Structure 1
Amino acid sequence: MPRSQGSGAPIASPAAAAVFTTVLTRGPASRVDVCRLTGLSSAAVTKAARPLIEAGYLRELAPTGRTAPGAGRPASPLAIAPEREYFVGIKITGDDLIGVVTDLGSRIVTSRHRPVPGFDVRTDASTTSMEPADVVAAIAALTTELLDEHPGFRERTHRLGVAISGDVDRGTGTVRYSPFLGWRDVPLAALLDEATGLTTTLENDVKALAVAEHWFGEGVGTSSFALVTVGTGIGSAFVVNGGLVSGAFGVSGEIGHVPIGVDGPRCHCGATGCLEAVASTQALLTEARRATGVDDLTIDQAVDLARSGDQVLRKVFAIAGRAIGLGLAVVANLLGPERLVVSGEGLDAYDLFEESIREAFSAQAYGSAGRCGLTIRPLPFEEWARGAATVAVQCMVSASG
Structure 2
Amino acid sequence: MTEAEAISLPTVRPTPFDPPADLAKLRETRPITPLAYPDGHQGWLVTSHALVREVLADRRFSARSELRHIPIPQAAQGPARPAPPGMFLSNDPPVHTRYRHLLTGEFTVRRMRLLTERIEEITKRQLDLMERQGPPADLVRMFAGPVPAVVICELLGVPDQDRERFQAEAVTLMRPDSSQEQKISAFLAVQAHMKELVLAKRAKPTDDLLSGLTRSDLTDEELANIGFMLLGAGLDTTANMLALGTFALLRHPDQLAVLRSEPDKAEQVVEELLRYLSIIPFLVRTALEDAELGGELVRAGQTVTISIPAANRDPGRFPDPDTLDLRRHSGGHVGFGHGVHQCIGQQLARVEMQAGFPALFARFPSLRLAVEPGEVPLRTDMLIYGVHSLPVTWDVV
**Bigger relative contact order (CA 8 A; separation at least 6):** 2
Give 1 or 2: higher strand fraction: 1
Q: TM-score, normalised by structure 2?
A: 0.25
Give 1 or 2: higher helix fraction.
2
| Structure index of larger Rg | 1
